[in-house]
Structures are given as structure tokens and as C-alpha cells.
């Protein structure tokens, strides 16, 4: 057996030996209800601080792995944990990044138990954040622990990050803050979930663009008994009243038609046909100051979430959306004179790693070795992540991590234990190949 094969064997064995403890650490992390305090609908003062508690848990694991640990804090109680396992010198550095914040648990009656008390089965860990993405954070920490347990000293630095803010795009308090504090690297793996049920994690070099916007419509209220006279143009029509709920369908149909156009013509080889979409996720309509249906609704606000093709800029897609809506509204006499008002709330640019980037081959090789010869799938990412903001700081990378993607943000979210173990092995072997071993030339 060559020295290189012996190192690989020792590291893989260490991960297996640590697997039970890794699951326990994940359960501990899930027990901390680190809902992002800036998530819409949350009471900031009541929940702020839990993100920092998860960072502290990770910091202890980083220190045990031999890292020098630093807290980077932009907002009190929202600490980022940064650990650097210093290399001997002469190697490339690698960053393993993940976010400590989670989304609210949703409807508690739909959970099989307390979402913040992990349920551990023979093959999975269930709880809020198990997939998105405390599983990935814990797997990264245990990769570093396995390297130390196997007696491996890297040539380049291994940088570990647990950051706040990702769920609302608050990268200035999280990933961007730690990068600006000096905790960067030559390449990055964001440990977000990249698997599905019964699979191992995939290699993900590309993410879509994300937009959040609202459209507001103005109507004219009137008594509910007059609706018939307002909707038939041969009668009173707009002069008597305008119900914004009716007018919304002009906007809805325009954007639904655009969504169909994207499904037919706006495709990408790493995303399933129809993936790029425009979701009308929140709708509020009512007569001004009144929540009974005895009046025509003269106010309406609809909020959309958009995932768009990674080869298109946010600005291009924004212009297309506004153009489609305004063109449709010009066919309606009322909307022509009372056009909708757009408000763009979150703009998250897409990200793509170049095809020839060396990190991809390194990770594929590590995954393949850890599985005994099975290479990973290569796919597009289901959502967005902090790779976008790393790219702004000149750091390229990809997504690879444990989790069942379709359970993210859902009730009974879970991660498969096999994916946790596989991810830790892949991170550790990627670090060995990418960073090099001390003493090698």
C-alpha cells in the first residue's frame, strides 16, 4: 500500500468511527432554534442570539480539530464562527462554508414531533435545519476532526465557516463579513444540500438567479351589490368601481405566459425543463382598511419569487418581467391609466463555476474514492447560496453537501445519515488533494 493510499484509508476510517458522534452533534445543533431574526414575520428581539449559539457549537468542534477560531460579529448576538487549520505551507487553501440560520418551522401540527428536537432513526435525522443546512456544517467540522484523528497535516490552510444571515440574503452580516475580515481561500465548497432521497450528494457548479418583487394595483371601491354593473362593460364599468382581484388576472396571465415561454425556450443542461419559474407566493387584496367582502377591493399587492436562468443577468430578467406586465396592462382600459407599481426587494445574482475549474475534478475524484468508484452526479442547485457573494470577492467554488433538497423549508425536514458520512469523507479527501500534504513537493 502506498503512503497516499494509507492516508486515504486512515481518514475514511476516522469518519466512520466518528459517524455516531457526528449525528449527536447534528442533533445538538438542531436543538438550537436559530431562526433568522430578520426573516419576515419574526420578532427580532425575541429570537436574536440563537445563530451565535450554533456558531459557538461549531467553534468548539473547529478548535478540537486544531483550528484557530475567531468570532466575526457585525450584529450583536449574530456571531460568525471562523476556524483556520493552518497548513505547513506551500499548498492551496480550501474554504468549507455554511450558514447557521434556519427558516421558521411552519405549521407545528404537521411535524411528527418538535422541529427543534431532532428525531434520529436508523438512517436519518429529522428536524428544522437538518438538511438546510446544519447537516453540511457538522459534516464539514467532522471532516476536519477526521483529518486530525488520522494524523494528517495539510500543506495549505483549511478554513471553516459557520455564518449568519443567508436565509434572507444578509451576506453583509455573514459570508461577506467574514471574507472581508480575511477568512478567504483559493477555492470554496458551500456545504448546502445537493442530494435527494436515496442518493448521495451531487456536485453543483451552477446556481440560478433569484428575484423577489411585489406588484401593487389600485382599484375603485364600491358596494358589493354593484359588482355586476362594474364587470360588464356594457353597463357602468370602471366609472362605478374596479375590483383589483379581477385586474390581477391580467398580471397573473402575463407572467404565467412568460413562465411557459421559459419552460419551452429558456433551458439549461443542468436544470430540469421548467425549473426556471415565477411564483406568486403572497397575495393581499381588500377594500382599504376593511377585511370583509362587502366592497370591491381597491388595494392589491402580490409578491413574486423568481428563479431564472444562470446565463441571464438580474437586470435583463427584471426588464423582461416589467415589459411583459406593462404590455398586458396596456390592453386593459383601467390598467392603462392606472399601471401597476413594481418594488424590487431582493436581487440575488446567479453563479457559475467555469467548466475547467480544477476544484471540480478534485471534488469528483474525492467523492469517487470515498464511494469506492461511483462518481457524483453533476446538477444545478435547487436554490441560491453564498457562492454568489464569494464570487464577488474573487473566490470560485461549488455546492456539495448532505440533505434531501425537497424537504428544505418544509415540515419534517430530514437528512440521511449516509449523506452526512459521505459528505464528511468527500470534504476530507478534497482537502488532502487540493491543499496537499505537509512535506510533499
Lookup: cell for 293: 367582502
Among 152, 163, 182, CA closest to 101: 163
Task: Reduce the DSSP state of residue 269 to 3 states and report it.
Answer: coil
Active site residue 386: no
Active site residue 101: yes
d(CA 216, CA 284): 10
Peptide bond before residue 133 is cis, with ω within 30 degrees of 0: yes
From the candidates 101, 170, 298, 416, give the one annotated as an active-site residue.
101
Instruction: Provide the total of helices (H) and of strands (E) in the chain, helices listed first.
Output: 12, 16
d(CA 436, CA 109): 50
Lookup: cell for 135: 447537516
From the candidates 75, 166, 186, 391, give the one annotated as an active-site residue.
166
Please count the residues of the chain: 441
Side-chain half-sphere exposure of 305, counting CA atoms within 13 A: 8
Pairing of strands 94-99, 187-190: parallel
What letter does residue 339 receive in the DSSP assignment? -
- Give the containing element (helix H, strand E) for 297: none
Active site members: 101, 166
Amino acid at each position: 500500500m502506498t503512503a497516499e493510499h494509507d492516508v486515504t484509508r486512515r481518514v475514511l476510517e476516522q469518519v466512520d468511527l466518528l459517524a455516531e458522534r457526528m449525528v449527536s452533534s447534528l442533533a445538538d445543533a438542531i436543538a438550537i432554534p436559530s431562526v433568522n431574526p430578520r426573516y419576515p414575520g419574526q420578532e427580532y428581539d425575541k429570537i436574536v442570539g440563537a445563530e451565535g449559539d450554533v456558531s459557538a457549537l461549531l467553534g468548539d468542534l473547529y478548535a478540537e480539530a486544531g483550528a484557530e477560531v475567531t468570532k466575526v460579529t457585525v450584529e450583536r448576538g449574530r456571531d460568525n464562527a471562523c476556524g483556520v487549520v493552518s497548513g505547513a505551507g506551500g499548498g492551496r487553501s480550501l474554504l468549507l462554508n455554511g450558514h447557521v440560520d434556519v427558516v421558521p418551522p411552519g405549521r407545528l401540527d404537521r411535524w411528527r414531533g418538535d422541529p427543534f428536537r431532532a428525531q434520529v432513526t436508523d438512517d436519518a435525522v429529522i428536524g428544522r435545519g437538518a438538511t438546510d443546512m446544519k447537516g453540511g456544517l457538522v459534516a464539514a467540522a467532522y471532516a476536519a476532526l477526521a483529518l486530525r484523528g488520522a494524523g494528517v497535516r495539510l500543506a495549505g490552510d483549511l478554513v471553516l465557516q459557520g455564518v449568519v444571515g443567508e436565509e434572507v440574503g444578509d451576506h453583509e452580516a455573514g459570508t461577506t463579513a467574514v471574507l472581508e475580515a480575511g477568512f478567504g481561500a483559493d477555492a470554496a465548497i458551500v456545504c448546502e444540500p445537493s442530494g435527494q432521497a436515496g442518493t448521495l450528494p451531487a456536485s453543483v457548479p451552477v446556481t440560478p438567479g433569484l428575484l423577489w418583487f411585489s406588484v401593487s394595483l389600485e382599484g375603485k371601491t364600491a358596494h358589493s351589490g354593484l359588482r355586476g354593473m362594474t364587470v360588464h362593460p356594457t353597463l357602468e364599468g370602471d366609472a362605478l368601481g374596479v375590483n383589483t382581484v379581477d385586474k390581477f388576472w391580467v398580471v397573473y396571465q402575463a407572467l404565467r405566459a412568460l413562465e411557459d415561454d421559459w419552460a419551452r425556450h429558456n433551458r439549461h443542461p443542468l436544470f430540469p425543463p421548467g425549473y426556471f419559474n415565477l411564483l406568486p407566493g403572497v397575495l393581499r387584496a381588500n377594500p382599504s382598511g376593511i377585511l370583509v367582502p362587502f366592497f370591491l377591493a381597491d388595494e392589491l399587492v402580490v409578491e413574486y419569487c423568481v428563479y431564472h436562468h444562470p446565463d441571464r443577468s438580474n437586470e435583463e430578467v427584471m426588464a423582461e418581467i416589467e415589459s411583459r406586465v406593462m404590455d398586458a396592462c396596456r390592453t386593459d382600459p383601467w390598467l392603462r391609466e392606472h399601471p401597476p407599481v413594481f418594488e424590487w426587494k431582493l436581487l440575488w445574482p446567479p453563479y457559475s463555476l467555469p467548466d475547467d475549474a480544477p476544484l471540480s475534478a478534485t471534488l469528483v475524484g474525492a467523492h469517487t474514492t470515498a464511494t469506492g468508484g461511483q462518481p457524483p452526479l453533476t446538477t444545478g442547485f435547487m436554490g441560491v447560496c453564498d457562492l454568489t457573494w464569494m464570487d464577488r470577492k474573487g473566490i470560485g467554488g461549488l455546492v456539495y453537501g448532505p440533505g434531501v433538497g425537497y424537504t428544505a423549508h418544509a415540515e419534517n425536514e430530514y437528512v440521511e445519515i449516509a449523506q452526512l458520512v459521505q459528505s464528511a469523507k468527500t470534504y476530507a479527501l478534497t482537502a488532502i488533494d487540493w491543499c496537499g500534504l505537509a512535506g510533499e513537493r
